[in-house]
Structure 1
Amino acid sequence: MKVTFLGTNGWYDSVTGNTVSVLVQSEDYDIIFDAGNGIAKADRYITQDKPVFLFLSHMHIDHITGLHTLCKFRFRKGLKIFTQAGTLGQLGTFVNEPYTVPFKELPFKNEVRELIAGTHYLPFTVTCLPLIHPAPCFGYRLELDEKVIAYCTDTGVCDNAVTLGCNADMLITECGLKPGDESPGWPHLNPEMAIRIAKEAGARRLALTHFGAEVYRTLEERRAVHERFAAECPGLVVANDDLTITV
């Protein structure tokens, strides 16, 4: 199984990368978490001959803005999009005229479904639970090909992030804040918080993404996070756009 970080920025694109999107390639499926502008690069890595599944965490613009690029793709076995219960109307407004090509006019078969919190079989196993964020936000746990990938962004420290990451082969979390910084009114994680979640969860590896574009202005600032915390968190991944990890 391969994990490719298509976009690693939070909030907006910058010289450090595109807004957040993560591609998981299994034997039978291509699975994408979030649709920031990074999703437009998915066709660099996939054949478009497998079924594609897209899981949206929430409706903040940096997680859905790349949906306007869906019309460039030719997913020959279709696309299924999953969003949190209660957000289908918002999504249908955004992916529609006059903003972009509506779902019904995309050049491939597609389906949009809402999910409630819990475990679903889609045909692989996905668990979604609410995280702590100003907007309703889901974290996901993917179980497939005898591997577990957990994806938790945007969030503050919470029990559900630990639950989703329990014994995961890779836990992917946001890292919107610099070391030592906190943002109680707008919950996000700093590296220490993310490492705490990973350790409590017993995750085998932690990958950091969704770096606040206004906070981490250079890739050197990200690399400094790895240098500071790699010994404390063996196997730590500090992601940049187009990084691929074999899990």
Structure 2
Amino acid sequence: MRLIILGCSGSIPGPDAAASGYLLEADGFLLGLELGNGALARLQAERDPFDLDALLLSHLHPDHCADFSALTVLRRYHPAPPYETRPRRLPVYGPEDAPQRLVNAFAANEAERLQTDLSDVYEFHTFGEQPQRIGPFEVTAFPVEHPTPAFGLRISHGGRTVAYSGDTGMCPVLEELSREADVLLCEASWTDAADRPPGVHLSGREAGAIAARAAPKRLLLTHVAPWTDREAVLAEAKVFFPGAELAEQGAVYDLGPA
């Protein structure tokens, strides 16, 4: 099981830095996790986008799904062989309103929106209350605190687990989501301050505190905004979880066998 960081910039892409985008690979199955601004370019640098076997979208803010429209163009119109032999419909898992929201993002105007149907290139699925089998992975979705419907995801295979916070403020499920994971990929959008709005994002301090309680083997901090001091976020997390690290674009983490 491998985790590949396509992009990890928070809220917007940064200079030469893609927004949220990750890959998980096991048993020849390639699972996409988020496709924010710039992530499709990074995916093309790493792999053939047609190698994607499924895509998870934790929520529908642009820094997590903006490149979905470009992926639609690629999958629908790519002319080069062996396009005609590739699977045309990609399974996509996300919030309940994902099909309509993603149509709205793709269509140029109201008339086009009413006529747009993405079912030729996607099979849409909603995150369920129970674990879902997606290829060789077991995926459990946890509703988290964010201004739009959003999910943290616990993704397991062969005795290994990646816990992904998605975008969230502090909420009780984060500890359950992260419990003894091999990797906790946790957003830390800003440094800690009393005036931070609740129910939006985590600070480095909060991410470290979650990890201290949940005891993952590894804490990777992601979704740090370009205007935020990454080292300051990391220093906050290390007070609670000394082994905390910053996720790095292009990095590959091999979780190995159980």
Post-superposition Cα deviations, 1:65-112, rounded to whole Å, max 9, x if no partner, equal 11122133678345211011233321222234459996356xxx5322
- Determine the structure 1 residue equivalent to 2:134: 122
CA contact (8 A) 2:208 2:238 kept: no
TM-score, normalised to structure 2, is 0.81
One-letter amino acid matched to 2:74: K
TM-score, normalised to structure 1, is 0.84
Within 2, Cα distance between the matches of 1:198 and 1:210? 16
One-letter amino acid matched to 1:190: S
- Determine the structure 1 residue equivalent to 2:252: 244
Which shows bigger deviation, 42-51 or 204-213? 42-51
Post-superposition Cα deviations, 1:160-193, rounded to whole Å, max 9, x if no partner, equal 1111111110011111111446523452111110
CA contact (8 A) 1:173 1:209 kept: yes
One-letter amino acid matched to 2:92: I
Within 2, Cα distance between the matches of 1:16 and 1:230? 27
- Determine the structure 2 residue equivalent to 1:112: 124
Question: CA shift at 1:239, angstroms?
Answer: 1.6
Post-superposition Cα deviations, 1:37-72, rounded to whole Å, max 9, x if no partner, equal 242111222355745221111111211111122133
Say what the alpha-carbon RMSD is for the aligned residues.
Answer: 2.7
CA contact (8 A) 1:139 1:153 kept: yes
Within 1, Cα distance between the matches of 2:242 and 2:29? 29
**Rg larger in structure:** 2
- Determine the structure 2 residue equivalent to 1:9: 9
Tell me the number of residue pairs that the alignment of Structure 1 and Structure 2 aligns: 239
Which shows bigger deviation, 34-43 or 173-182? 173-182
Question: CA shift at 1:225, angstroms?
Answer: 3.9
Question: CA shift at 1:133, angstroms?
Answer: 1.0
Written as runs of structure 1 = structure 2, the 5 A alignment for 1:145-184 is 145-180=158-193, 183-184=196-197
- Determine the structure 1 residue equivalent to 2:61: 60
Question: CA shift at 1:131, angstroms?
Answer: 0.4
The structure with the largest strand share of the pair is 1
The structure with the largest helix share of the pair is 2
CA contact (8 A) 1:17 1:240 kept: no
- Determine the structure 2 residue equivalent to 1:103: 118
Q: 1:223 aligns with which of 231, 244, 253?
A: 231
- Determine the structure 2 residue equivalent to 1:72: 74
